[in-house]
Structure 1
Amino acid sequence: MSNRSDWPAGYFIGERGAKIDTAIIEAFRKLPAANIGDCMGRSNAALGLKPYHNDPELVLCGPALTVKVRPGDNLMIHKAIELAQPGDVIVIDGSGDLTQALIGGLMRTSAQTKKIAGFVVNGAVRDLNEWAEGGISCWAVGNTLRGPSKDGPGEVNTTISCAGMIVAPGDLIVADADGVIVIPQDQLDTVLPRVQQHAQREEKIRASNQSGTADPERFNSILRAKGCPL
């Protein structure tokens, strides 16, 4: 199924990414997306996405099932839902187009039935009242009531660009109230301990700030190094 030469131009369904260990997924689920971003150069998160699930405590964490579609067409998104496994995050490159919605309430119902974790859409959604019920994450650039076509072309399980992120099949998606970030699958084992240590450091700083014993030298040393006369 992964040989492009067997597919007509513009259509393709690739292989899933390698399975991510459940323990790793659950470990990342407990970590703030902002801390993950801090440990990945502070430039790896999505830009311009908004949550439509109306639940700031809902954490999205799961492997990416990627989809690339023509703006305003969702044929291959329906195929992706069919192929998805429980816990998958369907990440859609819709080129940021807002003229037609790519997913709506009926697709939400299908996704919930298959226990899909959520959607990240570089494009528009509709049926906002249904998404606002929660239970499944939905991040998108915007919304419109105008529905999509179902003509194709499109690709599933291919490397895509989504809201400033490069996402490959099987990469880990994490999203919380702060936003959406992707961790490449081959970096999970190295990023996880860094983020855990970072979170521990922040807890110590938070405790120091709360007690009023924060060390001013933390920032004054930076200012002096820049020539500021402190």
Structure 2
Amino acid sequence: MSGVIVTNPPRAAAEDVEALAAFGVATVSEAMGRTGLLGTGLRPIQQGVRVAGTAVTVLSWPGDNLMIHAAVEQCGEGDILVVTTTSPSTDGMFGELFATALQQRGVKGLVIDAGIRDTRELREMDFPAWSRAVSAQGTVKATGGSVNVPVVIGGQVIRPGDVILADDDGVVVVPRERARETAERSGAREAKEAGSRAAFLDGELGLDRYGLRDTLERLGVEYKTYEEYAGEGS
């Protein structure tokens, strides 16, 4: 497998990434029309952490982390390393030594559609990571691949410089051209949710706030007392 290492790709503006960092993955995905989620298979090795950064992408051979080594050189302040493989892999391709090198370069975290190891050390270092698997299985450094090319995870295309946002709920990608618009839409959505939260704290029901009683009626859902319901089966 040959490959390519692309240098200095365009990146989303730092102020737009910072704006998106204020919102959760669910809010951002909803603001984009329920798109951008990288699937349910990527899980955090820590809890209570949210990161946002620009993607440096890696396409590797399964069980081979050579291209992660190559990608470290391409990473800088505010980036998130995004790794996937040419076919499914759960080998532990990334660990504490990689995290040390990336942290020194200002990288905010890792998203890997494969295995990760040294998870205790990564938590102690405060280096957040989301992975497909946790595995102590080691890897080789023998096959070419690519860095900073478009990759696909969970059916979503991630290009270098796109915004990656990750938290306890998962990972979402925001195309770099849509970063500012998505941040604005996310803010509007949070403001709307704040109004609903206040209403629910005041005792209002979602059935009434969202006009869902009419929806139930339109769908033919009926209210019956227990006696009425029980009597139908006798």
Q: Provide TM-score, normalisation by structure 1.
A: 0.89
Q: Which runs of 5+ in 1 are unaligned?
A: 1-8
1:49 aligns with 2:42: yes
Q: Which has the greater radius of gyration?
A: 2
Considering fraction of residues, name the structure with more strand. Answer: 1
1:9-50 per-residue CA deviation (whole Å, 9 max, x = no partner) reads 621112443232222111111111111111223242122011
1:124 aligns with 2:115: yes
Alignment counterpart, residue 26 of structure 1, candidates 15, 18, 34: 18
Q: Which runs of 5+ in 2 are unaligned?
A: 224-234
Q: CA RMSD in A?
A: 1.7
Residue of structure 1 equivalent to 2:230 = none
> In the alignment, is the contact (CA less than 8 A) between 2:117 and 2:135 conserved in 1?
yes
Q: Measure how far apart 1:134 and its partner are.
A: 4.6
Q: Measure how far apart 1:96 and its partner are.
A: 3.6
Alignment counterpart, residue 72 of structure 2, candidates 72, 81, 89: 81
Number of equivalent positions: 219
Residue of structure 1 equivalent to 2:62 = 71
Alpha carbons of 1:93 and 1:216: their partners in 2 closer, same or farther (altered >3 Å)? same
Q: Measure how far apart 1:82 and its partner are.
A: 1.5
Q: Provide TM-score, normalisation by structure 2.
A: 0.87
1:13 aligns with 2:15: no
Q: Measure how far apart 1:165 and its partner are.
A: 2.5
> In the alignment, is the contact (CA less than 8 A) between 1:92 and 1:162 conserved in 2?
no
Q: Structure 1: how far apart are the matches of 2:214 and 2:23?
A: 29
Residue of structure 1 equivalent to 2:216 = 223
Residue of structure 2 equivalent to 1:5 = none
1:156-201 per-residue CA deviation (whole Å, 9 max, x = no partner) reads 0100012342101110000112111000112123222111101111
Q: Structure 2: how far apart are the matches of 1:84 and 1:166?
A: 19
Q: Structure 1: how far apart are the matches of 2:172 and 2:205?
A: 30
Within-5 A mapping of 1:97-116:
97-98=89-90, 100-116=91-107
Q: Structure 1: how far apart are the matches of 2:185 and 2:80?
A: 24
Q: Structure 2: how far apart are the matches of 1:65 and 1:215?
A: 41
